[in-house]
Amino acid sequence: MAQILKIDDALAGALALLKAGEIVAIPTETVYGLAGDATNGEAVARIFEAKGRPRFNPLIAHVAGMAMARRIAVFDPLSTKLAEAFWPGPLTLVLPLAPGADIHPLVTAGLDTIALRMPQGFGATLIGRLGRPLAAPSANSSGRITATTAEAVAADLGDRIPLIVDGGPTPVGLESTIVKVDGQSLRLLRPGGIAAEVIEAVARRSLLREPGAGVEAPGMLASHYAPAAAVRVGATDIRPGEAFLAFGAVPPEMADAAVAVLNLSPSGDLREAASNLFSHLKALDQRGAATIAVAPIPARGLGEAINDRLNRAAAPREVTTGRHQAS
Ligand code: AMP
Ligand code: MG
């Protein structure tokens, strides 16, 4: 069972666990978050594992201070104005990922944008001391209700995480408002702790709320993730010209036949495979093969989300881009 510590006693223990790549439930002003080092792929994979999320949707990276924020995302005058007005606080900004940002691709689900927020209180202190951003979705298992007390986190996730930091009931009790800054326009991706009208007053423009805008959020659109190469899942052989995304032991004849090989996890560890998924797909895509053949991935645990992502990449595409010919 998770240890539960009051915020005044929890800082050193939480820091040690986060530095070791573990995950910790922490109070924020919105709801309890399940936090892991956003630069560490295995830590981020642990978040998905503990929540039992069936797919890799992008996570919010939490920062302390504008210097850290600017190393991660590109701020234009409009996003700077919103950050100055509402941070620290329950506003999440979706911004272009900064070149060379030290953020693991599992946090952004391979997108070139990032959701950023600067929290108040214990989270801010923790991130400042760690010196690294924390990825932190709500601390509840997938499909369960969001937790706003340490007791609720313990009842749901207590047997899956080492530490819950108890800061009492969270003051806002709602998730953050998510706004995507798109040039001069602002889009409301998720209503939350700061009312849209308040944001509109500061930004001096209205928030766009196209139907379906939220779809963009959890990676519902296969096109966001589509590599230029075609993807063939469940591959047990290699056809001419294919690159190979392996898992576990690689049969020598498959290694020999492939134009390039990368292994998600030579030991067959799903957490390691999750943390390598986006970077390996991208790297193989950049090798220019027409098709990436992917070894079968077990459907248990994180395998469900890994297979979801791969099946999306393998799905027939409506628009033909890159080297892949829709069939
Ligand atoms: P949660 O995981 O509950 O904290 O929710 C995070 C929300 O932020 C989800 O709706 C995500 O899809 C959304 N989100 C995170 N990153 C992005 C991004 N780069 N673009 C759009 N939405 C994002
Ligand atoms: Mg949630």
Residues with CB under 6 A from ligand 1: 57-60, 94, 108, 111, 113-115, 137-138, 178, 189-190, 216-218
Using CA atoms, how far apart are residues 104 and 108, in angstroms rounded to an integer?
8
pLDDT average, residue stretch 298-311 = 92
pLDDT above 60: residue 174: yes
Using CA atoms, how far apart are residues 282 and 272, in angstroms rounded to an integer?
16
Element (H, E) at 293: strand 291-294
> Between 128 and 214, where is the model more confident?
128
**Ligand 1, atom 10, residue with closest C-alpha:** 217
CA of 240 to the centre of ligand 1 (A): 39
pLDDT average, residue stretch 8-16 = 98
pLDDT digits (tens, 9 = 90+) for 207-233: 998 765 444 444 444 444 568 899 999
Question: Which range, of 45-54, 215-224, 280-289, averages the lowest pLDDT?
Answer: 215-224
Total-model pTM: 0.88
Question: Which range, of 28-32, 191-195, 211-215, 293-297, averages the lowest pLDDT?
Answer: 211-215
CATH superfamily, region 230-325: Threonylcarbamoyl-AMP synthase, C-terminal domain (3.40.50.11030)
For 109, the token pair is 């689900």
pLDDT digits (tens, 9 = 90+) for 153-165: 999 999 999 999 9
Ligand 1 pocket test, pick from 28, 57, 103, 216 with the greatest ligand atom count within 8 Å of Cβ, gives 57
Using CA atoms, how far apart are residues 270 and 287, in angstroms rounded to an integer?
24
Q: Which CATH number fits domain 3-208: 3.90.1280.10, 3.90.1150.10, 3.90.870.10, 3.40.50.2300?
A: 3.90.870.10
So where are the chain's domains?
A: 3-208, 230-325
**Closest ligand 1 atom to Cα of 60:** 15
Using CA atoms, how far apart are residues 295 and 115, in angstroms rounded to an integer?
31
If DSSP codes are grouped into helix, strand and coil, which group holds residue 32?
Answer: strand
pLDDT average, residue stretch 105-109 = 96
165 DSSP β-pair partners: 5
- The residue with tokens 């915020």 is 7
Using CA atoms, how far apart are residues 220 and 223, in angstroms rounded to an integer?
9
**Closest ligand 1 atom to Cα of 33:** 4
How many CA within 13 A on the CB side of residue 290? 8
Q: What is the pLDDT of residue 225?
A: 57
CA of 160 to the centre of ligand 1 (A): 23
How many CA within 13 A on the CB side of residue 70? 9
CB 71 within 8 Å of CB 101? yes
Q: Count CB neighbours of 211 within 10 A.
A: 6
| Contacts of residue 195, Cβ cutoff 8 Å, sequence gap at least 6 | 177
Q: Do the first three CATH levels of 3-208 and 230-325 match, i.e. the same topology?
A: no
97 DSSP β-pair partners: 73
**Closest ligand 1 atom to Cα of 190:** 10
CB 23 within 8 Å of CB 46? yes
CB 293 within 8 Å of CB 239? yes
CA of 242 to the centre of ligand 1 (A): 33
- The residue with tokens 């702790």 is 193
